[in-house]
């Protein structure tokens, strides 16, 4: 498929849920293009409409208005039989894993192949290969109840990609997992993306997940996309209120620091080996108060952010900021009235 | 007293009862299982919501369930005569037993299937599973332990109904209990039939529970 044509394209997608005595707008006029090979993150707080949005992509939820184009086909135009066929080329994993509890691990991975009409022998061979790839060759005959959360999600991933789908939808796939397991699952997803070129759509409420593996991100709030773009750009310079909230994690964190000037500095691939802050302190002989820091070392480069409080002396502050500029560290003043 | 002849009669009663109960259960499941599945699927939160079918079917099930078995047994005699040719004996009893227990089984099946985690159903739908395959590859296998427990409940209930049918000329242990225990006040025969019924009920219940436990992989 041509790179210039999106694999998933949403236009004006609106979803209204009718409850007993009111209507709830879960999604309002969503336009979204996701291209082949991307890892696209959709982030928002609970109730923002993320889960509904991802379910519109495989028509588990039919949009009230608007169109969903998958791989050049308008899903609304398809017959039920055709839609079922299309769903076989869209894998999906879930927060609660949703494995078939009465089937062994092997039979779980075989399930989508059975549905697709693959002969049993062939299906089992492929399932064994996939389970090897996700590192569970020793659990083939176990039942899901005997596995840990991370192992269950690995089975779910193997199952979701068994039919060689073009897209993998992940609905809060790591939200029920501890941080270490989350990291290993995210690595596995990245691996799958690179090895097979599967486009991945990730729904999450955690910025960490987006930072870890996504290329692009859309921020969803109250059923609307309020900000979107490359992850670096949104991360360095969030424009929307929701974006700022997600990047800063929470408002309270800097509201408690009185009236002094607080700056948020962003590390975006500078060398992790150069101790910029401590060099700065040494150079200006002035204290810098680090209020919050979240820096990751990825391949020798620093990514992350820090909240620092600079001295009250205005000239000194200016000099320090210039020092940061020279080292191409981006910063911005954080307003206190959060 | 409990001579050889009486024991032979009780033995025949046991076989007749088992025959009635097992055949009735199989037939009642043949009707009740699909009805139960339709009730789940056409529910407003089901995979193919269809309020009209759901309401009508639900009404019929409730209607049959609200008629006491003794009354139902008498009122279906014309149907029994059409199907079996007689209203007396073991085979004739099967007809009212099936009519009475099929709606009951439909409700048992409905509640078992509704226990299946909606997330699993959603995952199966996301993988492109159609309605029919969803039923026999997901809903029934996932609900199997609960369906087996329901089966044990159904079979013991049918056993109870079958004993009642002794009053209108059905066969089996119920017939013996009514004729000897009730009309002739031979309390020792009555006691033996009651004991045998208790053993059969316990047996079915125990068997069902064990099978359910063994088939459940969720430990």
Q: What's residue B86's pLDDT? A: 85
Q: Which residues lie closer than 8 Å to A227 by C-beta, 6 or more apart?
A: A218, A219, A234, A238, A239, A240, A242, A243
- CB B125 to CB A88 under 8 A? no
Partners of residue B135 in chain A, C-beta under 8 Å: none
Report the pLDDT value the prediction gives residue A271, as an integer from 0 to 100.
65
In this predicted structure, what is the pLDDT of residue A272?
65
Both tokens assigned to B182 = 């009730």
- The predicted structure's pLDDT at residue A304: 80
Contact status of B47 with chain A (Cβ, < 8 Å): no
> Residue A127's closest CA among A155, A152, A103?
A155
Secondary-structure breakdown of chain A: helix, strand, coil percentages, each rounded to the nearest 5: 35, 30, 35
CB of A327 within 8 A of CB of A271? no
Chain B residue with minimal CA distance to A165? B127
Kindly identify which residue of chain B lies nearest to residue A112, measuring between CA atoms: B127
Q: Residue A267 and residue A265: Cα distance in Å, rounded? A: 7
Which residues in chain A have Cβ-Cβ distances shorter than 8 Å to B138? 100
CB-closest option in B123, B128, B141 to A88: B128
Coil, helix or strand at residue B147: helix
Residues B113-136 have pLDDT tens digits of 999 999 999 999 999 999 999 999
Residues 6+ apart with CB under 8 A from B109: B32, B33, B35, B36, B37, B147, B150
Q: Hey, are the CB atoms on B128 and A94 less than 8 Å from each other?
A: no
Phi, psi of B193 (to 5 degrees): -65, -40
Q: What is the pLDDT of residue A266?
A: 82
Report whether A84 contacts A29 (CB < 8 A).
no
Quick one: pLDDT at residue B185? Answer: 87
Q: ∠ CA B6-B175-B185 to the nearest 5 degrees?
A: 65
| Residue of chain B minimizing CA distance to A92 | B126
B173: contact with A, CB 8 A cutoff? no
Q: Which residue of A has its CA nearest to B217?
A: A102
| Contact residues, chain A, for B141 at CB < 8 Å | 100, 102-103
CB contact under 8 A, A112 and B127: yes
- The DSSP H or E segment spanning A266 is strand A262-271
Selecting from A96, A111, A143 the residue whose C-beta is nearest the C-beta of B127 gives: A111
10-residue stretch averages of pLDDT, chain A, 338 residues long: 78 91 90 95 90 95 95 94 95 96 97 96 96 95 96 97 96 92 95 95 92 93 93 86 77 48 78 76 82 74 80 80 82 66
Ranges of chain B with pLDDT below 70: 1-2
Nearest-CA distance B67 → chain A (Å)? 34
A100, A102, A115 member nearest B128 (Cβ): A115
> Mutate which of B45, B112, B124, B126 to test chain A, going by most A C-beta atoms within 10 A?
B126
Tally of CA atoms within 13 A in the half-sphere of B15 that contains its CB:
5
Q: How far off is chain B from A60, nearest CA to CA, in Å?
A: 7
List of chain A residues whose C-beta atoms are within 8 Å of the C-beta of residue B117? 96, 98, 101
Cβ distance of B126 and A88 shorter than 8 Å:
no
Query: What part of B 102-161 touches A (C-beta under 8 Å)?
Result: 117, 119-120, 122-130, 133, 137-138, 141-142, 144-145
pLDDT for res A274: 75
């Amino acid at each position: 498929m041509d790179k210039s044509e999106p694999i998933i394209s949403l236009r004006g997608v609106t979803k209204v849920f009718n409850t007993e005595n009111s209507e709830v707008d879960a999604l309002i006029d969503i336009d979204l293009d996701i291209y082949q090979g991307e890892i696209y993150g959709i982030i928002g707080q609970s109730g923002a409409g993320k889960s509904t949005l991802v379910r519109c992509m495989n028509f588990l939820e039919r949009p009230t208005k608007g169109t969903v184009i998958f791989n050049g086909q308008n899903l609304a135009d398809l017959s039920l039989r055709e839609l079922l066929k299309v769903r076989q080329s869209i894998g999906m994993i879930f927060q609660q894993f949703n494995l078939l509890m009465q089937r062994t691990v092997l039979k779980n991975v075989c399930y989508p192949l059975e549905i697709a009409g693959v002969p049993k022998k062939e299906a089992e061979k492929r399932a064994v290969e996939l389970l090897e790839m996700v590192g569970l060759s020793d659990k083939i005959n176990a039942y899901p109840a005997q596995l840990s959360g991370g192992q269950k999600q690995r089975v779910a991933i193997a199952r979701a990609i068994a039919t060689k789908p073009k897209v993998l939808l992940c609905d809060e796939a790591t939200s029920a997992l501890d941080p270490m397991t989350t990291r290993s699952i995210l690595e596995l997803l990245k691996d799958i993306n690179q090895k097979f070129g599967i486009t991945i759509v990730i729904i999450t409420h955690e910025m960490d997940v987006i930072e870890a593996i996504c290329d692009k991100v859309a921020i969803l709030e109250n059923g609307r996309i309020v900000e979107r773009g490359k992850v670096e750009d949104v991360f360095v310079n969030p424009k929307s209120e929701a974006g700022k909230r997600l990047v800063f994690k929470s408002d309270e964190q800097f509201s408690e620091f009185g009236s002094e000037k607080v700056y948020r500095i962003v590390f975006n691939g500078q060398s992790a080996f150069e101790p910029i802050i401590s060099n700065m302190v040494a150079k200006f002989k002035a204290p810098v108060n680090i209020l919050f820091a979240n820096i990751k070392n990825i391949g020798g480069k620093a990514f992350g952010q820090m909240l620092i409080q600079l001295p009250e002396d205005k000239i000194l502050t200016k000099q320090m900021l210039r020092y940061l500029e020279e080292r191409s560290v981006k910063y911005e003043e954080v307003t206190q009235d959060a | 007293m409990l001579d050889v002849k009486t024991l032979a009669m009780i033995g025949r009663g046991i076989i007749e009862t088992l025959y009635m109960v097992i055949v009735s259960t199989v037939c009642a499941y043949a009707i009740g299982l699909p009805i139960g599945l339709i009730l789940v699927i056409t529910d407003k939160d089901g995979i193919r919501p269809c309020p009209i079918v759901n309401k009508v079917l639900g009404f019929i099930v409730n209607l049959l369930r609200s008629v006491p078995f003794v009354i139902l047994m008498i009122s279906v005699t014309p149907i029994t005569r059409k199907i079996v040719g007689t209203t007396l004996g073991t085979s004739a009893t099967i007809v009212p037993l099936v009519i009475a227990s099929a709606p009951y089984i439909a409700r048992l099946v409905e509640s078992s299937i509704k226990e299946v985690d909606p997330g699993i159903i959603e995952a199966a739908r996301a993988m492109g599973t159609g309605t029919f395959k969803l039923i026999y590859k997901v809903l029934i296998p996932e609900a199997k332990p609960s369906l087996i427990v329901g089966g044990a409940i159904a079979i013991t209930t049918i056993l109870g109904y079958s004993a009642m049918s002794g009053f209108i000329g059905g066969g089996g242990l119920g017939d013996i209990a009514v004729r000897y225990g009730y009309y002739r006040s031979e309390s020792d025969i009555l006691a033996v039939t009651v004991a045998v019924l208790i053993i059969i009920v316990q047996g079915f219940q125990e068997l069902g529970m064990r099978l359910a436990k063994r088939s459940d992989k969720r430990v």
